[in-house]
Chains A and B, each alone.
Chain A
Amino acid sequence: MGNFASLLAGFQVALAPENIGVCLLGAILGLVVGAMPGIGSLAGCALLLPLTYKFNPTTAIIMLGALYYANMYGGSFSAILLNIPGDSPAITTALDGYPMARKGRPGQALMTANLASFIGGTIGILILTLTASGLATVGLMFGYAEMTIILLIAMTSISWLIGENPIKGIVITMLGILVASIGMDTLSGAPRYEFGNMYLLGGIPFTPFIIGCVGFAQVIKLINEREADEKKRASDDSKQKLSIKDSMLKGHDFKRMLPPTLRSGVMGTFVGVLPGSGATTGSMVGYAIQKKFKSEEPMGTGAIEGIAASEAANNAAAAGAFAPLLALGIPGSGTGAVLLGGLMMWGLNPGPLLFDTNPDFCWGLISSMYVANIFTLLVAILVIPFLIKILSVPVKYMIPIITCVCIVGAYSTSNSMYGVIVMFVSGIVGYLLDKNGFPTAPMLLAFVLAPMLEQNMRKAFIASQGGLGIFVDSPLKLVLLAVFLVLILTPTVKAVRKKLGAKEKTKV
């Protein structure tokens, strides 16, 4: 009951004219960025972070939240119409969305994606409303040692889940932590690893680093997609005409999409809450589970059930990911890490106390997600007739535009060319890492969480005077430690078994 009273108070914040305006702006930008193949929610949030500097923290996070959320809707547009997923969570949407469009039902495929996203998202936000403050209360029981283990779990789980190679996951995570330790010691304020450089004394600035690793690295990769993009555009698929009237779903279609939407909505939320999983894992799990159920047409051939399961799960996961972010200060994904970095930049300290110290902010954000969900659905439906035009912006024109946005954005957040140079260098490093199979999302997460991990770890060691017993002296810590060990050992055991299996095969 208390949660709903707080939610109503939150609506007073969310429905302020300024917040409604930015929510709508975030929804429109999110749809456009999501629809553009190759940009994605992570790069979208990173590139638009500088635009939020003018706002107060609540308004700023409402805009970014709406943008992230709308991105999930937008990703399905190009997946359905061009067979190019706008973002990784839309990969599974393309499996049935594009075949359905090829069967002459592109409008209904888009409408299914929009409605499933809306229903899945609403389920996610409802569960977030019910559980977020409870999770924060649990978080209040955590001391330095518990927080240290939880942060380690968050960092390792994203490494395991994103990449196939656990060793590369560790390398990239540790690299992110070390980069974050340049500048000043988090406890004493003493200079550290600045190598006599006055710029490094202030550390590696967060926003230019993120813009580089995600945005600029993405542009460098995007140039290889020019030719494929041109070929796709030259095909007949991109010359269809769409109208809202022709896109409406019939009663039978709606009946087919509802059960997978509801199922994936609930499941996607819980996947989103897990550290490291995020919307991509959500949509993949949603689609995989749907395969176990009956669908009128076989999955992968244009089944409405497939689109609904994938889209409901990714939107629900996007909403669910806000629970650990707000309640524990632990982002579930790379995009969550950008949002967390933004919160810290605006002077907020996400964690168990946030619901007590800044209730307006927390509940305002949660309420705004309901508003953003409705806005995004309306815009997503109204935009259907113009989608072909929006998607017709060729990738080759986006390259110089995004390059300049990266440079201007990096300068504006640091007011110095140092920020631009950090963006440039981190962009090249991010590109090289990605090219060699090192995923950059764990590095961003580690970069954001590193100061928190260091503070908690050092305080735990100060309290125990160097003893390791502080990490195993209660049942809760033992459970957390067991989870951490399972996370580390599972992929290693899997890799060893795979190798042994391959060796036995070659012997036979």
Chain B
Amino acid sequence: MEKKRFNLRTVIPLATIVFSLIFIIVGLKDYGFWKGQPTPGFFPIIIATVLLISSVACFFQVAKDKDSEAVHYNRNELMVMLGAAAIILCTFIIGLVPSCLIYIFLWLKFVEHASWKVIVIIELIMAAIILGVFTFWLQIRFPMGLLLDMIL
């Protein structure tokens, strides 16, 4: 017997169906629809209902569609996401600016195998942008992280 494969393209319409149901249920329960005039739930409930109907239609359309190519995800795309997630996590420990600069170094050295010259140039440009434009000009105080907060 042929095994039916799960169509990855149906994930998005399924997610929007869940999303719209949450908005309809929470809206009706907590914010109402009409009390002599439109209540805070009025507009989101209408929109969520349209989203629900269109998502169901989209789900069947995508599920029936045999012609379009399957969606392929690759490891490199995940690496970009993990890189950004690592910066966010490291920000809480060593601060945002050092996290960004370390990330650039690690990415260029170990993912792109860039030369030292390229790494130094890019690090200097990025340090100038972050510190010069954001810290000194726009006066943004970036988070220092637990370590730097303890030291300084």
Residues of A that sit less than 8 Å from B by CB = 50-51, 53-54, 165, 167-168, 170-171, 174-175, 177-178, 181, 185, 187-188, 190, 192-193, 195, 216, 219-221, 223-224, 226, 396-397, 399-401, 403-408, 411-412, 415, 417, 420-421, 424, 427-428, 431-433, 435-438, 453-454, 457-458, 461-462, 465-466
Write the nearest CB–CB distance from A392 to chain B, whole angstroms.
12
A-B CB contact pairs (8 Å), 26 listed: A50-B134, A54-B137, A167-B54, A170-B54, A171-B12, A171-B16, A177-B47, A188-B40, A192-B40, A216-B84, A221-B77, A223-B76, A400-B103, A405-B129, A406-B84, A407-B100, A408-B96, A408-B100, A417-B88, A417-B91, A417-B92, A428-B81, A432-B11, A436-B9, A437-B9, A454-B43
Residues in chain A near residue B108, CB distance under 8 A: 397, 400
**Given known A54-B137, A54-B138, A193-B23, contact A404–B87 (CB-CB < 8 A):** yes
Q: Which residues of B contact A190 (CB under 8 A)?
A: 31, 40
Please indicate the chain A residues that have their CB under 8 angstroms from the CB of B68 in the complex: 437
6 tightest CB-CB pairs across the interface, nearest first? Answer: A174-B51, A185-B40, A400-B107, A170-B54, A404-B100, A412-B140
Residue pair B104, A175 in contact (C-beta under 8 Å): no
**Chain B 58-85: CB-based contact to A (< 8 A → 1; otherwise 0):** 1001000000100101101101110111
- Residue from B51, B73, B134 within 8 A of A171 (CB atoms): B51
Please, which residues of chain B bring their CB within 8 A of the CB of A417? 88, 91-92, 143
Please tell me if the beta carbons of B80 and A174 are within 8 angstroms of each other in the complex: no
Interchain nearest-CB distance for A346 vs B (Å): 15
B47 closest partner in A (C-beta): A177
When chains A and B are docked, how far (Å) is the Cα of A299 from the Cα of B125? 42
* Closest residue of A by beta carbon distance from B52: A174
Tell me the interface secondary structure of chain B in the complex: helix
How many A-B pairs have beta carbons closer than 8 Å: the answer is 166
Nearest B residue to A184, CB-CB: B40
- Which residues of chain A are near B103, meaning CB under 8 Å? 400, 403-404
**Binary CB contact string for chain B from 39 to 60 against chain A (1 if under 8 A, 0 otherwise):** 0111110011011001101100
* B130 on interface, CB distance cutoff 8 Å: yes
Residue of A nearest to B41 (CB): A192
Find out whether the CB atom of A220 lies under 8 angstroms from the CB atom of B81: yes
Instruction: Kindly state the separation between the CA atoms of A415 and B88 in the bound complex, as whole angstroms.
Output: 14
* CB-based nearest B residue for A166: B54
Q: Which residues from A are CB-within-8-Å of B125?
A: 401
Which residues of chain B have C-beta atoms less than 8 A from A461's C-beta?
Answer: 37-38, 42
CB A413 to nearest CB in B, in angstroms, measures: 9
Q: Given A171-B13, A193-B26, A397-B108, does the pair A403, B84 have CB atoms closer than 8 Å?
A: yes
Residues on A with beta carbons closer than 8 Å to the beta carbon of B42: 458, 461
Chain A residues with Cβ under 8 A from B51's Cβ?
Answer: 170-171, 174-175, 178
Interface centre among B26, B76, B77, B112 (most CB of A within 10 A): B77
Give CA–CA (A400, B111) in the complex, Å. Answer: 10
On chain B, the residues within 8 Å of A220 by CB distance are: 77, 80-81
Indicate if B133 sits at the interface (CB-CB under 8 A).
Answer: yes
A188: min CB distance to chain B, Å: 6
Given contacts A50-B138, A171-B54, A397-B112, contact A436 B12 (CB under 8 A): yes
Of B19, B74, B83, B87, which is in contact with the most chain A CB atoms at under 10 Å from its CB? Answer: B87
Q: Which residues of B contact A401 (CB under 8 A)?
A: 104, 122, 125-126
CB distance from A64 to the nearest CB of B (A): 16
Say yes or no for B114: interface residue by CB 8 A criterion.
Answer: yes
Q: Are B80 and A411 in contact (CB under 8 A)?
A: no
Known contacts A54-B137, A458-B42; is-contact A174 B47 (Cβ 8 Å): yes
Measured between beta carbons, the chain B residues less than 8 angstroms from A187 are 40
Q: A220-B80, A411-B142, A466-B37 are in contact. List 12 more A-B contacts (CB 8 A).
A: A167-B54, A167-B61, A171-B13, A171-B58, A185-B31, A190-B40, A216-B84, A400-B104, A404-B100, A407-B100, A408-B134, A454-B43
Across the two chains, which residue of chain B brings its CB closest to A461?
B38
Instruction: Write the chain A residue with the least CB distance to B101.
Output: A404
- List B contacts of A188 (CB < 8 A): 40
Shortest Cβ gap from B102 to chain A (Å): 11
Query: A171 — which chain B residues lie within 8 A by C-beta?
Result: 12-13, 16, 51, 54-55, 58
* Interchain CA distance A479-B107 in the complex, whole Å: 56
Q: With a CB–CB cut-off of 8 A, which chain A residues contact B27?
A: 193
By a CB distance below 8 angstroms, the chain B residues around A411 are: 96, 140, 142-143
Measured between C-beta atoms, what is the minimum distance from B22 to chain A in Å?
9
Residues of chain B lying within 8 A (CB to CB) of residue A435: 71, 73
- Nearest to B142 among chain A residues (CB) is A411
B34 within 8 A of A: yes
Separation of A428 and B55 alpha carbons in the complex (Å): 20
CB of B118 within 8 Å of the partner chain: yes
Q: Complex formed: what's the CA distance from A431 to B12 in Å?
A: 12
What is the CA–CA distance of A185 and B27 in the complex, to the nearest angstrom? 12
Q: Which A residues touch B80, using CB under 8 A?
A: 219-220, 223, 399, 403
Instruction: List which B136-150 residues lie within 8 A (CB) of chain A.
Output: 137-138, 140-143
> In the docked arrangement, what's the CA distance between A122 and B120, Å?
43
* Bound: A387/B80 CA distance, A: 29
List the B residue with the shortest CB-CB distance to A176. B47
Closest to A432 in B: B12
Expressed in whole angstroms, the minimum distance between the Cβ of A444 and any Cβ of chain B is 16
Q: Please, which residue of chain A has its CB at the minimum distance from the CB of B78?
A: A220
B88 and A424 contacting across the interface, CB-CB below 8 Å: yes
Question: How many angstroms between the C-alpha atoms of A224 and B16 in the bound complex?
Answer: 27
B122–A175 touching, CB < 8 Å: no
Give A96 Cβ to nearest chain B Cβ, in Å.
30
Q: What's the minimum C-beta distance from A487 to chain B, rounded to whole angstroms?
A: 15
Rounded to whole angstroms, the CA-CA distance of A465 and B38 in the bound complex is: 9
Interchain nearest-CB distance for B60 vs A (Å):
10
Measured CA separation A415–B48 after assembly (Å): 31
> Closest residue of chain B to A459, judged by CB?
B38
A407 and B87 within 8 A (CB): yes
- Chain B residue numbers with a CB within 8 Å of A221 are 77
